[in-house]
Amino acid sequence: MRPTVVIGFLGTTLDRARGASRWEQWRPTVDLCRHDDLQVGRLELLTQRRFSKLTQQVSEDIRSVSPETEVRTHDLELGDPWDFEAVYGALHEFARTYPFSDAEDYLVHMTTGTHVAQICLFLLTETRHLPARPLQTSPPRRGHSAAPGTYTVIDLDLSKYDRLAARFQKEHEEGLSFLKSGIATRNAAFNSLIERIERVAIASDAPILLMGPTGAGKSQLAQRIHALKAQRRALAGRFVEVNCATLRGDAAMSALFGHVKGAFTGAMQDRPGLLRAANGGVLFLDEIGELGLDEQAMLLRAVEEKRFLPLGSEREAESKFQLIAGTNRDLRVAVRERRFREDLLARIDLWTFTLPGLSARREDVEPNLEYELERWAERSGTRVGFNKEARERFLRFATDPATPWPGNFRDFNAAVVRMATLAAGGRIGVALVDEEMARLRDAWRRAPASDGHDELLERALGAREAAQLDRFDAIQLGGVLAICARSRSLSDAGRALFGVSRERRSVTNDADRLRKYLTRFGLSWAELEQRLG
């Protein structure tokens, strides 16, 4: 068993003996060494020279009640024991120079000393500058004056305390629900992702990078992160949002960093800029990959140093904000193409979370349907529902692997809003569902091909091999990879790709057809799962 070492202040009032009754009064430092079940091997007594007589008296009394306890005294010249800076500095220096050993068990006596001293001891213990546990002593009950009182060793891992742990768990669950807008999502991977985001949002003010396809909910999540931090009093500033795709040239510099009057033609007055507007809060830069290289350089400095130079100004401005960046592109590809600064990516890539699209979260279609209907009721004041057959029909369509949802939750929300608006008597029927399904299919069929296919080709084949494909093969393979990226299995992808011709064949093996097609390009399903994520 490791010997116990106690570190504590001399109690200049409570430890002082009062005549012949010294053994009948409670003296915390002396009585600490009188407990049969707490063997103090060594007491490190923090004191001051002006209390040398009291220090000597307490040391002698401890030796008389606990001969096995070694008392070592440390003179701390504090001047004013109520001066927080002086007390903390002296204790920090003691902790820094003390020869702590893994072979000993350390306790910090929290009962003696000024309130300032006790606060400083706790702070140094909680931050592990003092590798110890707090030890709280209390006087005996009335009528037991000869007893040494009681003591409690406090474990700073609050999760071990049942009632506190339950409170923390409830707060944690409320935070998760808040980030998910109260939607009871069922997708395990998404729920795990939100749990990680909640921990980071509360514990850190470092930049956060939200990746994912358009319509996956990046903007809404960024707003929720800000609101959650505000609820927990982690920040007090505003949520400021800007889509970087709308910023170009001097207008971009001015919008982000502000300008002074006369900085350029038309600058009739000073403009503070969005970075200063976000001071103390959150700045959400959606589609950050669209920023110009000059703006990226200034943003990097603003994130690192919290300082930047407004357009046309010779005086730097300051703003302490948390950056949340959003993108639907692979910024590493943009770095290779020299469209995005590598040093900025390294700075904002500390906490990166990729939000999946709706097609990868088909378990969440039903709870999101309920959420959208509730939102409609709140906005319109009218409650709308489905009849049973219509509901089943729409859910079958929405969860089918062949339904692409290229706009993700934006497409989904728009579909629900259209049906709710046209619902006669607040009831969505089969005919209305069929009409909406036909409308979505037609819109998706007429939509231009995704401009993200080149990126998928590079991730699957590598930049060099992708560049050597004929344009015909690149367009075809890119479309196939887009289906594969949002499918759960080879079979799901095959059904989505060959759904029409399947009806004309007596024997169907969609997975085998897709496997043979991928083999032409040296690809396998296992490789695609790894490379396309």
- 178 pLDDT tier (thresholds 50, 70, 90): confident
pLDDT in tens, 379-433: 999 999 999 999 999 999 999 988 989 899 999 999 999 999 999 889 999 999 9
According to the model, what pLDDT value does residue 454 have?
Answer: 72
- 165 pLDDT tier (thresholds 50, 70, 90): low
| Highest mean pLDDT pick, 11-15, 40-44, 99-103, 491-495 | 40-44
* Residue 205 CB partners (closer than 8 Å, separation 6+): 234, 235, 322
- 163 pLDDT tier (thresholds 50, 70, 90): low
Q: What is the Cα–Cα distance from 515 to 528, expressed in whole angstroms?
A: 11
Last residue of a domain, one of 97, 131, 156: 156
**Residue 282 and residue 222 share a domain:** yes
**Residue 239 and residue 92 share a domain:** no
> For the domain that residue 54 is a member of, what is the CATH number?
3.40.50.10770
**Residue 511 and residue 478 share a domain:** yes
**Residue 216 and residue 348 share a domain:** yes
Last residue of a domain, one of 354, 375, 395: 354
Q: Are 351 and 323 in contact (CB under 8 A)?
A: no
* Residue 524 CB partners (closer than 8 Å, separation 6+): 515, 518
Last residue of a domain, one of 156, 182, 216: 156
pTM higher than 0.75: no
Q: What is the DSSP code (8-state) at residue 259?
A: B
* Residue 290 CB partners (closer than 8 Å, separation 6+): 244, 245, 247
**Residue 193 and residue 342 share a domain:** yes
CA-closest candidate to residue 253, choices 210, 297, 214: 297
> For the domain that residue 172 is a member of, what is the CATH number?
3.40.50.300
pLDDT in tens, 236-290: 899 999 998 888 766 788 889 988 887 777 777 888 889 999 999 999 999 999 8
**Residue 477 and residue 382 share a domain:** no
For residue 317, list its beta bridge partners. 308
Cα 235 to chain centroid distance, Å, stands at: 14
The number of beta carbons lying within 10 Å of the beta carbon of residue 348 is: 22
pLDDT in tens, 91-150: 999 999 999 998 999 999 999 989 999 999 999 998 888 999 999 999 988 755 677 889
Q: What is the Cα–Cα distance from 223 to 229, expressed in whole angstroms?
A: 10
3-class SS of residue 323 = strand
**Residue 324 and residue 372 share a domain:** no
**Residue 185 and residue 327 share a domain:** yes
Which residue is associated with the tokens 């300051």? 318
Quote the number of domains for the chain.
4
> For the domain that residue 439 is a member of, what is the CATH number?
1.10.8.60
Residue 503 pLDDT greater than 70, yes or no = no
Q: Which domain holds residue 474?
A: 453-532
Q: Are 525 and 480 in contact (CB under 8 A)?
A: no
**Residue 373 and residue 332 share a domain:** no
**Residue 309 and residue 259 share a domain:** yes
Burial (CB count within 10 angstroms: exposed 0-12, middle 13-18, buried 19+), residue 475: middle
**Residue 203 and residue 137 share a domain:** no
Torsion of CA 246, 439, 404, 465, to 10 degrees: -60
**Residue 127 and residue 169 share a domain:** no
Looking at residues 207-233, what average pLDDT do you find?
A: 92
Q: What is the Cα–Cα distance from 303 to 292, expressed in whole angstroms?
A: 16
For residue 325, list its beta bridge partners. 209, 285
Burial (CB count within 10 angstroms: exposed 0-12, middle 13-18, buried 19+), residue 268: exposed
